[in-house]
């Protein structure tokens, strides 16, 4: 697993929230001025100030889904270049049904859903690089 310090430059972070055989996904707004309009996304977004990658993704998860997770819940982390060549972080965490019930959707996006992981990976409106990053995690995790 890759690690980072607060001082290393990065643009933002995304979090795949897995529950059972499902995945929490957020349907992005369908407006032309944003990246991936109308696509299924993961919690996450741009870095603010000098926050660490974990602090960035946990803040975004609180803002977008109302879930306050501890950093120890992040079970996978990897950095990838985005379409501009800037580093972005991909994290994975597992959550339970009790946490799904506590989701309070924020003001970004059209809604959220828990969908089977395989459905997300095959979805024509799943974000390509997130599908690749999730597939990499699934292939690398213990037990395959």
For the segment 41-68, the average pLDDT, to the nearest whole number, is 97
Domains, in order of start, for the chain: 12-140 (3.90.79.10)
Q: Residues 2-45: pLDDT tens digits? A: 444 445 689 999 999 999 989 999 999 999 999 999 999 999 99
CA angle 41, 3, 143 (to 5 degrees): 70
pTM of the model: 0.91
Neighbouring residues of 119: CB distance < 8 A, sequence distance ≥ 6:
none
**pLDDT score for 21:** 84
Percent of the chain at pLDDT exceeding 90:
84
Q: Residues 118-138: pLDDT tens digits? A: 999 999 999 999 999 999 999
Confidence band, pLDDT 50/70/90 cuts, at residue 82: confident
**pLDDT score for 114:** 98
């Amino acid at each position: 697993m890759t690690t980072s310090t607060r001082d290393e430059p990065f643009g933002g972070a995304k979090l795949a929230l897995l529950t059972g055989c499902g995945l929490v996904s957020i349907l992005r707004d369908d407006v032309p001025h944003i990246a991936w309009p109308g696509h299924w996304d993961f919690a996450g977004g741009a870095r603010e100030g000098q926050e660490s990658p974990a602090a960035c993704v946990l803040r975004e998860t609180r803002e977008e889904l109302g879930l306050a997770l501890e950093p120890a819940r992040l079970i996978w982390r990897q950095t990838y270049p985005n379409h501009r060549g800037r580093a972005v972080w991909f994290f994975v965490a597992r959550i339970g049904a009790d946490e799904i019930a506590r989701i309070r959707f924020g003001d970004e996006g059209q809604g959220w859903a828990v969908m089977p992981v395989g459905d997300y990976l095959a979805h024509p409106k799943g974000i390509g690089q997130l599908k690749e990053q999730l597939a990499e995690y699934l292939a690398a995790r213990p037990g395959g």
